[in-house]
Amino acid sequence: MGKIRNIGMLTGGGDAPGLNAVVRAVVKTAKQYGLGVVGFLNGFGGLIKNQVRELNERDVAGILPRGGTILGTTNRDNPFCYPIVKDGKKVYVDVSDRIFENIGIQEVDALIIIGGDGSLAIGRDLHEKGLPVVGVPKTIDNDLWATEQTFGFDSAMTTATEALDKLHTTAESHHRVMVLEVMGRYAGWIALTSGIAGGADTILIPEIPYNIESIVKKINERSRQEKQFSIVVVAEGATPIGGEMVVQKRIEDSFEPVRLGGIGNVLGRQLEEVTGKETRVTVLGHLQRGGSPTPYDRILATRYGTGAVKLIMDGRFGEMVCLTGPTISSVPLKEAAGKIRQVPLDSDLIYSARMLGISMGD
């Protein structure tokens, strides 16, 4: 590997609060090393189509508190499985060679990929094909292997907690059961942490299949204690015992094709039918992805961005920056990508929830 002169960067997958903080940190750190920075637009699509913008300190001024990403993002355009129309039919082909051509055209010496497990898996494959890649872990779901926390999670958890604070007042006033559906995919981090912070009575997560009778038991128990309302937080990936996750839709061109969603409404109808209590359902959806990042996420994202540039300058390609205890370190992409980090069943978070009298639905 020759001397590093220019860094390329992209943001892939779903947006998350803190993406702009990473972009800012990369640009400002790169300047300290005398490096140029090029941003590829709209995820891997920009790499494939050679859509770029140069980034300097003026471009990143004021973006630290902004949600979203100034580079644009998408969870489509996997270069190893890219859709094209051939003879009137959609087929999928490997166009990864275009990336190497465009990297050469832009005179980029190393690429930073900021994304979740789908984006980082593509980054791993590109590195194995010879591209100098460094990964930055991003997801509100906090489900990436090999890092203790991803940026975006704290902001999403805060949004969910604030929603629970608001739902409490109307639930208590109207003596209702309030069901809040939150994101998280196949991990229950958002549901569990916001449920504890927001004073939920029942928390349902993918790691613990639930029994509807256990939830009803908790609601009735509260009624006997003259507490005529209940708050239920359910992760989008939660399932009943012996049942399956509720899938909202599938997007075949995405490298994250399954879209979960709808469990809140299913559960709400069941609870109202069985308990006879008026039940309302709130689905936070993309509210959890938007808005200004919390101070914690701004700091974590900044540390990841500066750490990514340091990996490049140290020549440590094929690695992902991660949080280990209080320290920013790194792990090989091949160990981090494609693995899901769920809530351990022996987690002290689950223990604390149970000791507070929160039902986990089992």
For 10, 20, 59, 68, 86, the CA distances from 71, given in Å and listed in that order, are: 7, 9, 11, 9, 30
Residue with tokens 């489509």: 76
Contact 187, 193 (CB under 8 A): no
| Assigned token pair, 294 | 């919390």
Contact 5, 54 (CB under 8 A): no
Choosing from 77, 117, 125, 141, the catalytic residue is 141
Give every CB contact of residue 36 below 8 A, 6+ residues apart in sequence. 5, 6, 7, 30, 54
- The number of C-alpha atoms within 13 Å of 9 and in the hemisphere containing its C-beta is 31
Q: Which DSSP category does 330 fall into?
A: E
Give every CB contact of residue 213 below 8 A, 6+ residues apart in sequence. none
Contact 63, 301 (CB under 8 A): no
Is 117 known to be catalytic? no
Nearest-CA neighbor of 321 among 155, 146, 153? Answer: 146
Q: Cα angle vertex 75, ends 71, 77, to 5°?
A: 90
Dihedral, 145, 78, 103, 117 alpha carbons, nearest 10: -10
Q: What is the CA radius of gyration of the chain?
A: 22
- What are the φ/ψ torsions at residue 42 (nearest 5 degrees)? 60, 50
| Assigned token pair, 330 | 């790194």
- Can you tell me the distance from the alpha carbon of 42 to that of 51, in angstroms, rounded to the nearest whole number? 8
Which are the catalytic amino acids?
141
